[in-house]
Amino acid sequence: MKIKQLLALILAVMMTASVLASCGNTAETETDAAGETAAVEATETEPVDPFADMDFGGEDIRMMLANRVRDGMVGSENTIMHGEELTGEVVNDAVYNRNILVEEKLNIKLVFTENEESHTTIGASITQLLTAGDDAYELIIHELFPLATLSVQNSFLNVFDMPYFDFSKSYWYEDYMSDVSFDSGEKRYILAGDYFLDILRTAHALYFNKDRYRDLYGDPDDLYDLVLEGDWTHDKFLQYSEGAYQDVNGDGTRDAGDLYGFSTYGYWGPMIPWVIGADVNFLDYKSDGAPYFALNDERSIKLIESLNRVYHGTGAYDYKADYETAFLNGSSLFGGYLRVASMEVFRDMEADLGILPIPKLDDLQENYITSSHDTTNIGVIPITCSKTDTIAAVLEVLSIESAASVIPAYYETSLKTKYVRDDQSAQILDIIRQNISCVFPVAFGNYCENLALYNAFSVLLQNKSTDFVSNYVKYEDKAQAKLDELWEAFSSVEG
């Protein structure tokens, strides 16, 4: 019996005893009323399941599902598609149980078709499918970059006002979906949330070698304390990175044989989480909702100056393709351009491993910001879908159950106990997951002359330059023209 019901029953019994003692034979009617009231109150506390009596008659729910290895990490298809049986592996079994539960609850059948195409070809394949009017799938799960471009081309259904979706719930990433929809108050074409676990797996993070930290600075918990207190900034990172450099061979030259604070892999990709994590203002909006680039300000100038210190300071070294090896073998204190799922690669690392969010630019910044990769797998409902109510209900229930079982299985069990080796790292993972946002630059950056990331920041960083303003104005007009085209296309999409 539930606690609230038990308390209500005890209360009713106590009231009955009191009435009997004072009122004799009149107690029966009053006791019944008290018991009925308690029962009503208990019933009112029970959550109502709007999907309890739904029955979709055994309909197939057909999904196209991306399936390919990226950057040495396995894909996330096994967090969507269940195997034929329970295996005892915690995530596999959670996915299996979730899918079977949803199939039985709604009387549907989940049907998966795996797709191994890359982001360079999948867009054309989907366009061809939709142009032919082929109602082949109720849901497409594939990479953000190509699907974001298709989302302004009348390719997908607007899910904003579809039935059953409740985007106010925490299992939906509303900030993510809003940002990739120009903060529109009436349109959403990209689905992001706990069901699409790849978003978490590909989120960027900063790793550190706790053994080296102990040798250099003492207790690694000091870094966790900085993060939890909100004081983990570029300046703090530089303090530790610069202090970690050691000229091991004594030749007076910074080379691959020395020890460093930060292992990097060029500038373009590794720089992205640092730019997004700095909370710069990529876009502002006019009164009619039209977006315009707003990067030309003091914060962007401060950011490029700080990035030059991070990537070109004494503590950093560009290991190129060997950047992961350099971190794994202890050559660097911090490992850059890594993701949450990198833990799955590091499981055999002998050294103690810790995880951190990308630092804030400065102490004026309110929150840490976690960037999502442009190849992360998100969901869209193709314009040809004829089972709109069914797929909406299925996705809502899948999301509810993912938050209840699959996320805990992956996040709590696999990450927090199997790969991450301390309780503090578990708290850091909470911060990383709760702050995944700012998607527009990776979703539409290339479409807009690559101003937001590459031309505004990476070009300068590669050239060790901090001249933000004069560089920015060279690209601004062309980028804004492309952004205007993008907005016009988005505004004209039906729905």
| pLDDT tens by residue, the chain, 495 residues | 433 343 343 334 333 344 334 444 434 444 444 445 444 444 456 678 999 999 999 999 999 999 876 655 567 899 999 988 999 999 999 999 999 999 999 999 999 999 999 888 999 999 999 999 999 999 999 999 999 999 999 999 999 989 999 999 999 999 999 999 999 999 999 999 999 999 999 999 999 999 999 999 999 999 999 999 999 999 999 999 999 999 998 888 999 899 999 998 889 999 999 999 999 999 999 999 999 999 999 999 999 999 999 999 999 999 988 888 888 888 999 998 899 988 887 777 777 888 999 999 999 999 999 998 888 999 999 999 999 999 999 999 999 999 999 999 988 777 776 777 777 887 898 899 889 989 999 999 888 999 999 999 999 999 999 999 999 999 999 999 999 999 999 999 976
CA–CA dist 456, 303 (Å, integer): 11
Q: Are residues 291 and 147 in the same domain?
A: no
Q: Are residues 135 and 261 in the same domain?
A: no
Q: Is 374 left (phi over 0), alpha (psi -120 to 50) or beta?
A: alpha
Cα separations in angstroms, 207 against 226, 227, 311, 359, 466: 15, 13, 16, 12, 27
Q: Are residues 324 and 458 in the same domain?
A: yes
Domain residues for the domain of 178 are 59-201+375-419
Q: Is residue 242 part of a domain?
A: yes
Please report, for the domain that includes residue 397, its CATH number. Answer: 3.40.190.10
Q: Is residue 435 part of a domain?
A: no
* DSSP 8-state class, residue 133: T
Last residue of some domain: 419, 453, 480?
419
Q: Is residue 6 part of a domain?
A: no
Q: Look at residue 141 and give its three-state secondary structure.
A: strand
CA–CA dist 70, 140 (Å, integer): 19
Give the count of domains, the chain. 2
Q: Are residues 341 and 450 in the same domain?
A: yes
Q: Is residue 85 part of a domain?
A: yes
Cα 308–Cα 311–Cα 314 angle in degrees, nearest 5: 100
* Contact criterion met (CB below 8 Å) for 66 and 146: no
CA–CA dist 92, 113 (Å, integer): 18
Q: Are residues 379 and 474 in the same domain?
A: no
Q: What pLDDT sits at residue 69? A: 65
Measured torsion, CA atoms of residues 144, 145, 149, 152, in degrees rounded to the nearest 10: 30
Cα 334–Cα 338–Cα 342 angle in degrees, nearest 5: 110
Q: Are residues 106 and 223 in the same domain?
A: no
Q: Token pair of 97, please?
A: 């149980």
Q: Are residues 78 and 213 in the same domain?
A: no
Closest CA relative to residue 140, chosen from 390, 382, 396? 382
pTM of the model: 0.87
Q: Is residue 5 part of a domain?
A: no
Q: Are residues 292 and 346 in the same domain?
A: yes
Q: Are residues 363 and 391 in the same domain?
A: no
Closest CA relative to residue 271, chosen from 23, 124, 458, 138? 458
Q: Is residue 18 part of a domain?
A: no
Q: Are residues 194 and 90 in the same domain?
A: yes
Q: Is residue 40 part of a domain?
A: no
Q: Is residue 123 part of a domain?
A: yes
Q: Are residues 245 and 354 in the same domain?
A: yes
Q: What pLDDT sits at residue 2? A: 39
Q: Are residues 268 and 237 in the same domain?
A: yes
